[in-house]
Amino acid sequence: MQQTNAKGFQTRRLLGRVRAWFSKPANVILLLFLVALTVLTLYPLLSMLTETVTIHTGREARAAQLSAGSIAMYHFQRLFATSENDYSWIQFYQPFLNTLLVSVAASVIAILFGGIVAFLVTRTDLKYKKFISGVFTFPYIMPSWTLALFWETFFKNVNIGLKTSNGIMASVFGIYMPEWFVYGAFPIALVLGLHYAPFAYILIGGILRNMDANLEEAATILKTPRIRIIWRITLPIVKPAMLSTFLLVFASSMSAYSVPVFLGSPVRYYVLSTKMKSLMDSYPGQAYIIVGVMILFGVAILLLNQKVTNSRKQFTTVTGKSGQISKIHLNRANRPVAILLVIILLLVAVVPLITFALESVIIKAGDYSLSNMTLDFWIGRDLDKRLDQGDSTGILLNPKVWNALGYSLGLAATCAIVAGTCGILVGYGVAKRRGSKLASLVNSLSFFPYLMPSLAFGAIYLSMSSQLPWLRGFALLALVGSVKYLPFASRSGVNAMLQLSGEIEEAAVITGVPWWKRMVRVIFPIQKSSFLSGYLLPMVSCMRELSLFVLLVPTSNTILTTMLMQYSEKGWAQFGNAINLLIIVVVLLVNFTVNKLTGASIDKGVGG
Amino acid sequence: MPEIKLTNVAKRFGKFVAVDNLNLDIESNAFITLLGPSGCGKTTTLRMIAGLETPTEGSISIDGVTVVDADKGINLPPNKRDVGFLFQNYALWPHMTVYQNIAFGLENLKWDKKKIRDRVQELLKMLRIEQFETRYPSELSGGQQQRVAIARTLAPGPKVLFMDEPLSNLDAKLRMEMRAELKRLHKDTDSTFVYVTHDQLEAMTLSTRVCIMENGILQQYAPPLEMYNSPANLFVADFMGNPAMNFVDGKASVTGQTAEVTFGSLHGTFHADYPIDLKGQECVVGIRPEFVHITDGEGPEATVYSTLPSGMETTVRLDKGGTGITAVVFGGVDYPADSKVHFTFSGRAILFDRAQNGKNVAEGRLELK
């Protein structure tokens, strides 16, 4: 009797605890996301791991002399330890070293360029600051292949690479650049470095801007020379941000696909991502091992980054007390430095657009005279009667293009809404239950898709969708896009929620405001711009995404980016350039409209 | 005008014990202060009563209704407890005007529009912030924001009002002013106030009863003057009063109600009101600074270490053979440093037992020899 009483007592107690736990929305959200993210990220990971030990049909089965579907360590042995014909060296070790080289170089370039500009903009009286800081994020907003494509079309000539035609440099100026300059490690690292320099600019600039001026003023009072202050005070304080940037750029460069494809493949310069793609068709097992290696690298970087950002806390020196930062006077150097920067930025951000525009109107490649120009590729009709290849109408009159644009926009908007909303919810849950194991687990899981190379992510979901008949077409693309871009949204969601003191919500709890109303009426309006940035980043990224969707689209005409790829594969360069320009313009337009209307900006979502 | 009852309440965060086995009866219409250094569990206690935190063990009832009981699995959400909460940083919603901030809670209670308007006007008037009705919080000074926060909290007319260090972000002058307002508000609203602070002066001046905590454990629960005069232990004695009580380590030999005490370089006889319960000899003698008198020739001699005149009173720090003793003298007197003065004790002294964690074992008169 007494025992049953005690038992009932225990159960009631337990029930009460469970009910209390579930009465907190943050707990419910975290639990839901734990389940969803486990299915959506860990399951693909596991299925990928099984692929690395499965013998696939076709060439793989024949080469391994094993029956298709059997389990073996053959791929590992083949990829890592085959000395015959230098197979391992060519297929893995060489691309691996190339990846390291390119990624490190890109990180250094990004930090130097972004960091120096961040310093000049925040700490000196540089001229044209507004223009410089406005245009600086352009390269990141534009698709990453933009610069690569520009580099190739600008510098290519008939002596190198595929030896097809001359670019502007050769045909207009008569200068034939050497191969190392146009293709391979140097341009890949440079282009990636420039593309990710905005990371450095945003992260380092953020610290410099918020840094308490007292820290430097204290040194000034102690009669420290300016240069010594920068070296001994300013640099150590931004060091963690620099390290963070390094890791972020490294991880991003490592999984970049389109840049090495444009600037490496023509001269058979491979990195892990391009090697993976080329192996995927014939030896998928080995391709998946490469994906695994890249993910391992990514995880190591994530852990390192977490360590860095945790110890960074001791450096967050924002007191908000003294806002008056004494700006360094550049004096006579001011104008030359400013003009140099403006020229570089024009080259990086504006000239590519002009080049694409130019390339989209010339009839015969390499001839930039006015007589060789036409708007036919944009607005022409019945082109097939006049040209030997290409579509029959210009892209602006082509319903296929408009359909693809609509599909792309719809997809981007869907991904943005799903990822952005989930990002806010994750941010809410993580911030509310900060410090708990559940919160940090969900936080890490939500960041995990960032580490999955897009191409591999797409490949895994493709194989997943073959088992799920309802997961097709738009639904599949939207799901993949939402999961892949969740990290951006959850980053900005977590950051925004952490800035918000818990009391703001509790003040509404006390008066009995229901949870959804607290979110909609109190929390969202206060952090509106940060949250909207969480929507903007997935939107922009999705619009210009190629490698994630390339394996998943029903037809190449489905979205703009795959259409672009199809055109360049067919060699319809003018159509390709025109669509490329269209994509860039749409992306920039979306970005600036949202930015002007809501104040949300890409800056707020990057890094963290 | 409900009473609040806490029974065996405990709160643990993992292994860390924030509040341990707390029993507290808050009578209706009281103004209770939870006092203690930061991290002592006072805010956690307040949040548990309000329902913002769930106790690991124990139960809490407000006005006879059990609002939370860990054993029975009862846990009413904050809005069902009919309470108001005033936050330390005000937690005003920055995107709403003063009017909207105050009205938002009422809209959720489904009051009709006219009633809301009347109530908000009433509060704006009561707290003298009518002219700020359409402003946003960022356009107000700290004191004005504080008033808006109070108005918002009072708007639904809660039976119990919780306040978490509401004055700590204000400057000294404004804090004095708001203290007076809060005390008046307590009388006007007829509600029970529970107030968290680390400022003993605030606790002394405002509350009907003080609950002093250290490391999650209740040290003493008594009216402020009683706590000042008869602190339960060294911690309470040290925390209450500014300048702090003088403590001098010593040895005592007890015979019934009297004890011969040697402390610092001084000797004296302690006459307690009741038998002294000292375990061993180690003790601490406590004397309030206002009971140390500086004389022209009576009593032992000491050196002036420093003098801090504040106009109305003067705090003098004396050095007696390496033992520091603080005295408070009424009026502004400036004793030159290093000059020689004499001093005596009057009023009551307290004997604390080292062996019993500084427990108060005797109160009475201390005669110097």
pLDDT at A267 over 80: yes
pLDDT at A317 over 50: no
Interface check B83 vs A, CB under 8 A: yes
- The backbone torsions φ and ψ at residue A546, rounded to the nearest 5 degrees and listed phi first, read -120, -55
Number of A to B CB contacts under 8 A, please give it: 87
| pLDDT (0 to 100) of residue B159 | 85
| Averaged pLDDT, A59-66 | 78
| pLDDT (0 to 100) of residue B33 | 95
| pLDDT (0 to 100) of residue A313 | 44
| pLDDT (0 to 100) of residue A321 | 37
Query: How far, CA to CA in Å, does A202 sit from each of A538, B30, B104, B316?
Result: 18, 54, 37, 56
Distance CA A175, CA A322 (A): 54
**Contact yes or no for B156 and A504 at CB 8 A:** no
CA distance B42 to chain A (A): 16
**Contact yes or no for B91 and A12 at CB 8 A:** no
Interface check B156 vs A, CB under 8 A: yes
Per the prediction, chain B carries an average pLDDT of: 90
Per-residue H/E/C for B307-350:
EEECCCEEEEEEEECCEEEEEEEECCCCCCCCCEEEEEECCCEE
Find which of B12, B108, B111, B152 to mutate to test the A interface (most A CBs within 10 Å of its CB).
B108
Sheet holding B4-13, edge to edge: B16-26, B4-13, B57-62, B65-69, B74-75
**Contact yes or no for B104 and A23 at CB 8 A:** no
Contacting A residues, span 495-514, partner chain B, CB-CB under 8 Å: 501, 503-504, 506-514
What the block records as the tokens of A304 is 């390192």
Peptide bond into A240 cis (omega under 30): no
A67 burial type by CB count under 10 A (0-12 exposed, 13-18 middle, 19+ buried): exposed
Q: Which residue of B has its CA nearest to A21?
A: B54
**Contact yes or no for A508 and B75 at CB 8 A:** no
CB contacts, 8 Å: A521 with chain B: 104
| pLDDT (0 to 100) of residue B342 | 93
Interface check A438 vs B, CB under 8 A: no
ipTM entry: 0.73
Confidence label for A76 from pLDDT (cuts 50, 70 and 90): confident
Distance CA A91, CA A487 (A): 31
Interface check B205 vs A, CB under 8 A: no
Sketch the domain layout of chain A as residue ranges. 89-359, 387-608
**Contact yes or no for B87 and A521 at CB 8 A:** no
- Higher pLDDT: A504 or A370? It is A504
Interface check A7 vs B, CB under 8 A: no
CA distance A531 to chain B (A): 15
Interface check B93 vs A, CB under 8 A: yes
Residue A185's H or E segment, with its range, is helix A185-210
Distance CA B118, CA A181 (A): 76
- Model confidence pLDDT, tens digit, residues A442-453: 988 888 888 778
Q: Which among B52, B104, B106 has the least Cβ separation from residue A509?
A: B52
Q: Which residue of A has its CA nearest to B149?
A: A507
**Contact yes or no for A506 and B87 at CB 8 A:** yes
One fold for both A89-359 and A387-608?
yes
| pLDDT (0 to 100) of residue A315 | 43
Confidence label for A533 from pLDDT (cuts 50, 70 and 90): confident
| Averaged pLDDT, A437-466 | 83
Quickly count: other Cβ atoms within 10 Å of residue B322's Cβ.
7
Quickly count: other Cβ atoms within 10 Å of residue B144's Cβ.
18
| pLDDT (0 to 100) of residue A27 | 92
| Averaged pLDDT, A415-422 | 94
Confidence label for A88 from pLDDT (cuts 50, 70 and 90): confident
| Averaged pLDDT, B116-140 | 91
| Averaged pLDDT, A60-89 | 81
User: For strand B57-62 and strand B65-69, is the pairing parallel, antiparallel, or unpaired?
Assistant: antiparallel
pLDDT at A418 over 90: yes
- Higher pLDDT: A173 or B134? It is B134
- Model confidence pLDDT, tens digit, residues A535-580: 888 888 888 888 888 888 888 788 988 888 888 777 777 888 888 8
CATH topology of domain A387-608: MetI-like fold (1.10.3720)
- Asked if A529 contacts A598 with a C-beta cutoff of 8 angstroms, the reply is yes
What is the CATH number that goes with domain A89-359? 1.10.3720.10
**Contact yes or no for A13 and B152 at CB 8 A:** no
